[in-house]
Amino acid sequence: MAMETENKKFAFSYYHIFLGLLTILILRSCMEGASVNRLPYSEFKTHLEEGNVKSVSLRGELATGEFKKPIDGKTTFQTTIVPPEIAGELDKHGVVYESHGQSSLFGNFILFFLPTILFIGFWYFILRRGLKGISQGGGSFMSIGKSKAKIYVEKDTKTTFKDVAGADEALEELREVIDFLKNADNVKSLGGKMPKGILLVGSPGTGKTLIAKAIAGEANVPFFSTSGAEFVEMFVGVGAARVRDLFEQAKKTAPCIIFIDELDAMGKTRHSNMISGNDEKEQTLNQLLVEMDGFDTQGGIIILAATNRPEMIDPALLRAGRFDRQVVVDKPDRKGRTDILKIHTKKVKMGEHVDLDAIAGLTPGFTGADLANLVNEAAIIAMRDKATSIGMDHFTRAMERIVAGIEKKSKVLNAKEKEIVSFHEMGHALIGYCLNRDDKIHKVSIIPHGIGSMGYTIQRPTEDRYLMTKEDLENKMAVFMAGRASEMLIFGHLSTGAADDLVKATNIAREMVMRFGMTKELGFVSYEDAGPTFLEVKEGFGRASLADHTANEIDQCVKKIVMDAYDRAYAFLEEHRSLLMTAAEELRSKETLNEEELHKIFQELDQRPPESASMDESFIH
């Protein structure tokens, strides 16, 4: 269980007791005033002379009594005595008179001080609630500048390096940090210094935070965990104060580790343009820079941070002496995915014929978080099927659910749409089957899935690839354009079904021209500065620095590459039109074809003589 740096205050305080007593007094006073019959003194004298007064109780000038006969339904009365000399004069002239006496201390308090106290109390309550929300649960105004980092020890996390897989190189690098903390004297004896900062960078879901938890479990030292967003506040100076407080706590418990998740939230690059600047963020960043340079390097404090936007981090944080060690936590390869699946399937009931290596082969590009989600989705599907264990089919359906989206059972295609979609998807499958036998066609379906998708073709590589040639990229574009080529060949018209295919093919062609220098017309020149990013978000193509004729030539080259891919796909489908018709009819009748069924349909392509090919041998394997 995590130990908070500040104890929570009692909700029941003297402030609440005071308000409660004051409320009781006010209510009592109001109730007494409402229940007593206030009587003018002149009327009291009249009732007294008539003999209708049964009893009287005197308290100074205040007289309280009881009538013999009720007056207006009331048997009690209260009046204030008027001096006899004044009462006598008023009686001579028949004047109705009454005395209110001197105001009591409580009455003065109610009249003058209560509104002020209520006004102050109201604003105190509003400010206290506001500051509590601003400080993200920090409590009172005095604690807004305190660090909200949670402190963990080994028994709290229960996570070790055994629970992490698929990041062997990163773990090997971080094991040295654990050795530094456990054997600091050995490092000092050699004249070396412990590293100050280690930055974990990688795509979302690759396990950066999980690795940090494993370090906390392995190090057996206090582990301060916080987020970069917790230092950024509306008030200038609050973030810097929290940074100072965090390092003061760390110095008291050294050796220890400070972990800052999402470092880019507080360490974003500072701008020289004053319009885009932010005083609070810059002060927080400046304080972090000072603390990383200021604390004792032999004190045993190591700062561990994580981010998926390293290009956004200020260069001052990345210089030597600060976050000088950058550990890349990349997406796992096939072996890494198999190891990750072994960890996530320990707590689920697996079937006998489940092959985790085969599942890893179907999930290239999946991160550790994606694989954990895959196992969970498979378990949900098995539960929905009321199965006693999770089988291979459940994993396959879970993978399709993640890749293609949820099946839209309520979205039914009419006969014409179904025919168009079947030829479109079978065009993808036929070209994909012939272009690259290493990227197998896993499944083809014309059942609507996801958002706006009326069908899908899943093509998965048999092995991880880290380098692609020009021919590989051209083949990928031909697969994307095959859907439109198939529609044009069979129906002679265009549809909106190829919108996503056109975007993907155009993006590949533009990268071939602007980033990879794969065109003779423009030469081996890069026209785009694609900075390092792990979020896979395009920041634009940087055309501001291009001449008009260069930009026009780039557009022409991109168009030519895409159209060449379309022409290649169209020519091949035209030659094998009968096979395309047969395969589309089979898909239309069954709605879904798996890998084995597709192989039976396309087996005649493997038996045809080489001279019958109308395309380059590099295109048909």
Count H helices and E strands in the chain, helices first.
23, 12
**Cα separations (Å) of 420 from 170, 434, 479, 502, 562?**
49, 22, 17, 17, 22
Cβ-based neighbour number of residue 76 at 10 Å: 16
Q: Is residue 457 within 8 Å of residue 484, measured between CB atoms?
A: no
Q: Are strands 223-227 and 256-261 parallel, antiparallel or unpaired?
A: parallel
Please say if 586 is a catalytic residue. no
Q: Give the pair of three-digit tokens for residue 236.
A: 């200038």
Q: Give the pair of three-digit tokens for residue 598.
A: 């597709």
Q: Give the pair of three-digit tokens for residue 322.
A: 């600060």
**Cα separations (Å) of 388 from 351, 398, 399, 401?**
9, 17, 20, 21
Q: Is residue 300 within 8 Å of residue 181, measured between CB atoms?
A: yes
Residue 232 phi/psi, 5° resolution?
-95, 120
Helix spans in 254-364 (H)? 279-294, 315-318, 334-344, 356-361
3-state secondary structure of 447: coil
Task: Quote the CA–CA distance of 163 and 207 in Å, as a whole number.
Answer: 11
On the CB side of 423, CA atoms within 13 Å amount to: 24
Identify the CA nearest to 497 among candidates 458, 457, 455.
455
Q: Which of 280, 291, 425, 487 is catalytic?
A: 425
Task: Quote the CA–CA distance of 305 and 226 in Å, as a whole number.
Answer: 10
Task: Quote the CA–CA distance of 258 and 261 in Å, as a whole number.
Answer: 10
Going across the sheet that includes 439-445, the strands are 456-461, 439-445, 592-594
Q: Give the pair of three-digit tokens for residue 200.
A: 């974990």
3-state secondary structure of 440: strand
Helix spans in 305-458 (H)? 315-318, 334-344, 356-361, 368-384, 392-404, 415-435
3-state secondary structure of 182: helix
3-state secondary structure of 523: coil
Going across the sheet that includes 74-80, the strands are 53-59, 62-71, 74-80
Task: Quote the CA–CA distance of 141 and 128 in Å, as a whole number.
Answer: 7
Cβ-based neighbour number of residue 92 at 10 Å: 7
Which residues have a catalytic role annotated?
Answer: 425
